[in-house]
């Protein structure tokens, strides 16, 4: 028997004995016989219906001699009182045990349900391949960041990133290797982020990055660090027209509290900056509103 069961048994035996002694000391009054409900409740709580029933029967048996000590010549009445007490103790223990078990099961069911909801909520906002936030979560966070912007010049920058010629990569190495490439690239980008930056997979080979309180020059520095970091992975891309390694094109836009932009418009500008980066040779960072001239490293 486990130690916790031994201690529970000792507590219940002690409670039974103490109840019996108190009732004995308080006779001829039988009001104190209700103390037996306490050890019965302990047993029902610890061992459910079976424990409550067994201790209820024991309590009823122990109550018998105490009831027969009453000053009366009506033995039949005393016997009836004893049987009634035995019945109530037993039923109380069994019923309470069933109730405790139901409450426990309901509690476990509720906890499992809440855990399942938490898991579903988490996976509803996490990309299943890269395990970074997905587009749904990105949309929520971008809107939250916009809501934080005031009418002053607080900056908010957004990057849209795309692996160059990823379709060619998949055709060359296969989709399984393509998935591995996406996981390695996302992990690499994550390692280069600052506290507060928010990275998400937008879909396919596209990633998006939110940079709160970051102006355009600072955001460009982060973008260049990411672009070069992906090259440093050294992932072969032999059929790429850009270079023999996997590369990344980045479109960047910065908004301010006074810009009168909304989240959808900002995303569209980042997408156009990304398109410009691809038009001007890929493997580069282009900022929305700036003419693309600079070639990638």
pLDDT at 173: 97
Q: Does residue 297 surpass a pLDDT of 50?
A: no
**Comparing 51-55, 222-226, 236-240, which segment has the lowest mean pLDDT?**
51-55
Number of domains in the chain: 2
Among 163, 190, 159, which residue's Cα sits nearest to residue 177? 163
| Domain closes at, from 71, 99, 122 | 122
Mean pLDDT of the chain: 90
Choose from 12-21, 92-101, 225-234 the range with maximum mean pLDDT: 225-234
Q: Is the omega angle on the peptide bond into residue 67 within 30 degrees of 0, that is, cis?
A: no
Asked if 227 and 209 touch (Cβ cutoff 8 Å), the reply is no
- Residue 266 near residue 145, CB atoms below 8 Å: no
Contact 237, 247 (CB under 8 A): yes
The owner of tokens 């990275």 is 199
> Residues 241-263: what's their mean pLDDT?
91
Question: What pLDDT, on a 0 to 100 scale, did the predictor assign at position 151?
Answer: 64
- Residue-wise pLDDT for 129-172, tens only, equals 999 999 999 999 999 998 888 766 789 999 999 999 999 999 99
pLDDT at 11: 87
**Taking the CA atoms of the chain, what radius of gyration do you get in angstroms?**
37
Q: Are residues 77 and 149 in the same domain?
A: no
Looking at the domain assignment, is residue 111 inside a domain? yes
CATH number of the domain at 275, please. Answer: 3.30.70.270
Do 267 and 208 share a domain, yes or no?
A: yes
pLDDT confidence band for 70 (50 / 70 / 90)? low
Structure-derived torsion over alpha carbons of residues 216, 218, 223, 229, reported in degrees to the nearest 10: 170
Domain limit, last residue, from 56, 87, 122: 122
CA distance 168 to 172: 6
Give the span between the Cα atoms of 297 and 293, in whole angstroms: 13
Beta strands in the chain (DSSP E): 155-163, 198-203, 206-212, 248-256, 285-287
Instruction: For residue 129, tell me if it sits in a domain.
Output: no
Query: Residue 258's pLDDT band (boundaries 50, 70, 90)?
Result: confident
293 in a structural domain = no
Contact between 48 and 100 (Cβ < 8 Å): yes
SS3 295: coil
In a domain, 130, yes or no: no
Residue 250 maps to a domain? yes
Backbone φ/ψ region at 260: left (φ over 0), alpha (ψ -120 to 50), beta:
left
pLDDT at position 295 over 70? no
Is there a single domain that holds both residue 102 and residue 160? no
Question: What sign does the CA torsion over 236, 238, 242, 248 have?
Answer: negative
Confidence at residue 27, expressed as pLDDT on a 0 to 100 scale: 79
Q: Do 111 and 174 fall into the same domain?
A: no
pLDDT at position 292, please?
57
* Catalytic (active site) residue 224: no
What's the CA gap between 259 and 255, in Å, rounded?
A: 6
Q: Is 259 inside any structural domain?
A: yes
Ranked by mean pLDDT, the top range of 19-23, 72-76, 156-160 is: 156-160
Inside any domain, residue 98: yes
Which pLDDT score, from 0 to 100, does residue 296 have? 42
147 with 82, same domain?
no
Write down the catalytic residue from 140, 144, 205, 221.
205
pLDDT for the residue numbered 81: 84
Residues 99 and 241 in one domain: no
Query: Can you give the pLDDT at residue 131?
Result: 93
pLDDT over threshold 70, residue 294: no
Q: Give the distance, in angstroms, between the CA of residue 227 and the centroid of all CA atoms in the same chain.
A: 33
Inform me whether the pLDDT recorded for 64 exceeds 60: yes
- State residue 9's pLDDT score: 86
Domain with 69, as residue range(s), is 3-122
Residues pairing with 249 in the sheet: 162
Same domain, residue pair 189 and 238: yes
Query: Is residue 41 a part of any domain in this protein?
Result: yes
């Amino acid at each position: 028997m486990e130690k916790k069961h031994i201690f529970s048994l000792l507590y219940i035996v002690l409670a039974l004995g103490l109840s019996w002694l108190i009732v004995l000391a308080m006779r001829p009054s039988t009001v104190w016989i209700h103390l037996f409900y306490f050890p019965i409740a302990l047993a029902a709580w610890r061992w459910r219906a079976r424990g409550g029933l067994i201790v209820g029967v024991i309590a009823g048996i122990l109550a018998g001699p105490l009831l027969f000590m009453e000053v009366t010549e009506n033995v039949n009445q005393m016997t009836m009182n004893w049987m009634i007490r035995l019945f109530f103790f037993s039923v109380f223990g069994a019923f309470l045990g069933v109730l405790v078990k139901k409450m426990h099961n309901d509690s476990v069911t509720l906890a499992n349900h809440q855990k399942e909801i938490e898991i579903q909520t988490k996976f509803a906002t996490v990309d299943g391949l890269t395990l970074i936030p997905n587009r749904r979560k990105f949309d929520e966070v971008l809107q939250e960041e916009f809501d934080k912007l005031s009418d002053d010049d607080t900056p908010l920058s957004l990057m849209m990133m795309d692996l160059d010629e990823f379709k060619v990569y998949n055709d060359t190495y296969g989709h399984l290797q393509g998935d591995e490439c996406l996981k390695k690239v996302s992990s690499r980008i994550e390692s280069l982020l600052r506290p507060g930056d928010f990275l998400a997979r937008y879909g396919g080979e596209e990633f998006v990055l939110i940079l709160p309180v970051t102006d355009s020059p600072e955001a460009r520095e982060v973008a260049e660090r990411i672009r070069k970091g992906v090259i440093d992975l050294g992932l072969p891309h032999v059929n790429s027209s850009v270079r023999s390694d996997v590369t990344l094109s980045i479109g960047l836009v910065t908004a301010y509290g006074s810009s009168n932009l909304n989240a959808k418009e900002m995303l569209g500008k980042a997408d156009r900056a990304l398109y410009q980066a691809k038009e001007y040779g890929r493997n580069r960072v282009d900022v929305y509103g700036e003419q693309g001239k600079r070639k990638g490293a």
